Amino acid sequence: MVTLWVIWFIGRRREIEKLASQLSPSLLPTDDTSVVALIVVGIVLLSMIGAGTILLFVWGQRQTSLIQQQRHFVSSVTHELRTPLASIHLAYETLTKRALPEETQKKLLSMSIVDIERLIRLVNQILISSRLDRGLSMFNDDIRTIDIAKAINAVLETLNHLDPNLKDRVRVRCPEGSTWYGSQNALNMVLGNLLENAIKYSPSKGAVEVSIDKKSDQMDVIVKDFGLGLSKRDKKRIFKMFYRSDNATSRAIPGTGLGLFIVKTTMEQIGGHISVSSSGQGEGSTFIASFPA
């Protein structure tokens, strides 16, 4: 644009000078230096207009993608609410309308408890991500010495609804008696979200590995799966609020796009960091959460 303008300005110099002399002779350049100054001013102004246009375009693109992600989020949340609610409704309707053997009643009630827990988890995810997004501190009140193996097992218990044979799928490599001094909530939140994803984005029965690598100044929690993997584009975006990859949406894998945002902001709040590696789609993924010692 700038080059075209310079060529046009030089080519039409005579006509421009004629026009300027008719309109206002004071505008006429008196020597070659003022012509160069005029060209430089023109280049600067054109560059600023160009940069402004690019900035507006990028901002517009970002807004469009954010609106799209928020629409996806609303529809995922609606779906995530409707499924367990419909199941609880059906269970209670059956319990009140029919005389069922005690065993069946117990089964229906325990299925409802699983659905209610799923609803509680969803509401908690939304509340937590909103608090973290506003920069509110959440991990100062529960600092203690935590037995890591126990913490991993407790988190796995809460994920049983994803697969009743979870214990057979997940390999835990944690040195005997390993401890970490820090926030229990932060550790649970990070472990819970990383493990849930590793299970959700792997084929059924696909193995998942959790290992602990303790160094002098930090503790790495490594969660590795052999599932869907991540493209280069996804690796850059998965920690953003609401982001879900096409892989997840096209396969209708349930989720809201909040889990990894929670992991990233939690790690930032406690002074740690999270990284991801994957050789590509279908190649599995490895997440490393580095907790400060």
- Interaction between residue 225 and ligand ADP (CB under 6 A): yes
Minimum CB distance to ligand ADP, residue 176 (Å):
27
What is the C-alpha to C-alpha distance for residues 169 and 204, in angstroms, rounded to an integer?
Answer: 9
CB of 127 to ligand ADP, least distance (A): 15
Q: Which of residues 154-213 bind ligand ADP (CB under 6 A)?
A: 193, 197-198, 201
Q: Is 129 in the site for ligand ADP (CB under 6 A)?
A: no
Question: Would you say 94 or 124 has its CB closer to ligand ADP?
Answer: 124
Residue listed under structure tokens 């000078």: 17
User: Which position has the token pair 């991540």?
Assistant: 230
Q: Return d(Cα 290, Cα 267) in angstroms, integer.
A: 8
Distance, in Å, from the CA atom of 121 to the CA atom of 141, rounded to the nearest integer, reads 21
The single residue among 155, 230, 274, 289 that binds ligand ADP, judged by CB under 6 A, is 230
**Among residues 84, 182, 259, 272, which is the contact residue for ligand ADP, using CB under 6 A?**
259
Total residues contacting ligand ADP (rule CB under 6 A)?
23
Asked if 195 and 182 count as a contact pair (C-beta separation under 8 A), the reply is no
Please give the order of strands across the beta sheet that includes 218-225: 170-173, 208-214, 218-225, 285-292, 273-277
Residue whose token pair is 């901002």: 59
Residue number with CB closer to ligand ADP (208 or 219): 208
Candidates 188, 245, 265, 266: give the one binding ligand ADP (CB under 6 A): 245
* Positive or negative: CA dihedral 164, 169, 170, 173: positive
For binding to ligand ADP (CB under 6 A), which residues are involved? Answer: 193, 197-198, 201, 225, 227-230, 238, 243-245, 247-248, 255-261, 285
